[in-house]
Structure 1
Amino acid sequence: MTIARYRSLTAALAIALLAALLVTVTGQHSPAGADERPAGAQQLGDPDYGVCRGTNPGCYHEWGNFAPATDGYKVLLYTRTAGPRHANLGPALGSGLDPALTDANVVQKALVAMGAANGFKVDWTEDVTQLASPAQLFKYNAVIFYSTSRDTLDDAAQTSLRQYVRGGGGFVGIHNAFGTEYNWSWYEGLLGGANFYDHGANQPGTVITTNRHDTSTQNLPKTWAFTDEWYNLIPAPSRVRVLAEVDESTLANGVTGNYHHPGHGADHPVAWCQYYDGGRAWLTTLGHDTKDFATDGSFAGAAEYQKLILGGIESAMGKKPFCQAS
């Protein structure tokens, strides 16, 4: 065999092996002609994140890092935005812990009142230095990110949050917590292996309570009306216990509404829970509107939404059973 012939065969074999590898990894054949197109993205994220995660309580670390329940439950509400800011957060807050609130700080005031009515204390902050060490966070049974945005944590706070969760901490991510720390894979895993992609118009739809056994959903009806932006997610949550979905057939179609996004298709979760890297994580993409905290019945689904997040907070902090299947 000539050297030229050997090189030609070697090159052909390399091409064949590369094509076989492409099919194995992506499930797609490389394009053979201009009329062939891939069926769609197959690899939408890392399903592992290098930690123990899922619905198995064995992933939880019971290391005794929290004060006894007799000392009272406490949560830290974090609403710092480093990008778009939802109207229901009101004006940016001052530095330190528990800065002054105005009537426009609807989320903060509503969660403080919710805690007072249900036996737990809520501190609030938008000062990243309040998350600077695990010792600071271990004062709280859960940390709530409510519509934070973009790179809202510095290096110290990132490390602190991870150590807090690994030490058995509770995390609650609400609405634009999914529009936060896009480039931090551990945080994406904390959200359930999910990340914000886009959304349609704020519009009414029907929520289906797919699991009515969990603390956060046991007092909810099978279906309930609600209005939201209905976030589309890529990746979509995986290895989690889905608690509620939106019925996409109840949403408008086209650019003015929502649609079946290839990240999740018609299976569109809006609330779920998981154990993650030693801690508990309860998540919902709902929570866009200021009226979500109405108490006079004027906003459809407000009462159900408040029950949902109350149960999520209480279970994530360990006050009530967490992420139940039955």
Structure 2
Amino acid sequence: MRPRLLVFTRTADYRHDSIPAGVDCLRALGAFDIEHTEDPDAFAAPLEAYRAVVFLSTSGEVLTPAGRERLAAYIEQGGGFAGVHAAACTEYGWPYYGQLLGARFDRHPELQPGRVLTEDTDHPATRQLPPAWDFTDEWYDFRANPRGTVRVLLRADESSYRGGGMGNDHPLAWSREQGTGRVFYTALGHTAEAYGDPRFRAHLKGGIAWAAGITP
């Protein structure tokens, strides 16, 4: 039996047109059984039925107070969590979530091509990736650099695009532990086309599998 994921795509602010492509991508990876929902009441059920919870381009305040408590308890007790793209634009009013994810979204320049640098090649989210690869995205800047509190996996080469605001050290994807749970986040994934990119698919598959605790 494949591990189950709860994929949550509720939006209370900007809604990405790429969400359906993202859900289809996760199903097509073939590694997980996907339960997709936008209903915050899904967090009233026992989350232990899932190996990981995935926030896929969520935005704004998307959980009830009870849902926040259940998600935090699930992760602290060993559950997995993965955030994709606008998951960093979520739950600004919940301090725990900012700690959980590792950083909060600040701004981004216009959508444009740029270059991703693979910093850590010894992680399931990055083992299949080249040292540098071209990608089109919004190149999120964060309110604070998470380095030092997370394991940085990918960073942006700001010399490859216009409008970057974090300088030479610009993390894009990382992993960390929270309680006894595992957390993976990637800022990539703005466009529907991204979810058809084999490199991005390998990145998602490895990162989510790691968060779910099903890879070494």
**What range is the shorter-chain TM-score in?**
over 0.9
Instruction: Name the CA distance, whole Å, in 2 between partners of 1:217 and 1:72.
Output: 22
Partner residue, 1:195: 104
Superposition map of 1:259-298 within 5 A: 259=164, 261=165, 264-294=166-196
2:142 counterpart of 1:230: no
- Give the SS at the match of 2:125: coil
Question: Aligned partners of 1:240, 1:310: CA distance in 2, in Å?
Answer: 19
% of aligned pairs identical?
40
Unaligned runs of 5+ in 1: 1-70, 90-104, 253-257, 295-301, 322-326
Tell me what 1:316 maps to: 211
Contact 1:245 1:269 in 2 (8 A): yes
Q: How many residues align?
A: 215
Matched to 1:177, the amino acid is A
Q: Following the alignment from structure 2 to structure 1, what is the Cα–Cα distance between the partners of residues 59 and 208?
A: 20
User: 2: distance between equivalents of 1:266 and 1:190?
Assistant: 24
Q: CA deviation at 1:278?
A: 2.3
TM-score, normalisation: structure 2: 0.96
- Deviation of 1:266 (Å): 2.3
Q: Aligned match of 1:244 in 134, 140, 154?
A: 154
* 1:163 aligns to 2:78 (yes or no): no
The answer to whether the Cα contact below 8 Å between 1:146 and 1:174 also exists between their aligned partners in 2 is: yes
Distance 1:170 1:312 in 2: 11
* 1:220 aligned partner: 129
- CA RMSD between the two structures: 1.1
SS of the residue aligned with 2:67? helix
The alignment partner of 1:157 has SS state of helix
Q: With a CA cutoff of 8 Å and minimum separation of 6, indicate the structure with the bigger relative contact order.
A: 2
Judge conservation of contact 1:182–1:188 (CA < 8 Å) in 2: yes
Runs of 4+ in structure 1 deviating by more than 3 angstroms, as ranges, are none
Structure 2: segments with no counterpart, 5+ residues: none
Contact 1:110 1:293 in 2 (8 A): yes
Query: How far off is 1:265 after superposition?
Result: 2.9
TM-score by length of 1: 0.64
Which residue, out of 198, 201, 206, partners 1:306? 201
Amino acid at match of 1:129: D
| Aligned residue type for 1:204 | P
SS in 1 for 2:18: helix
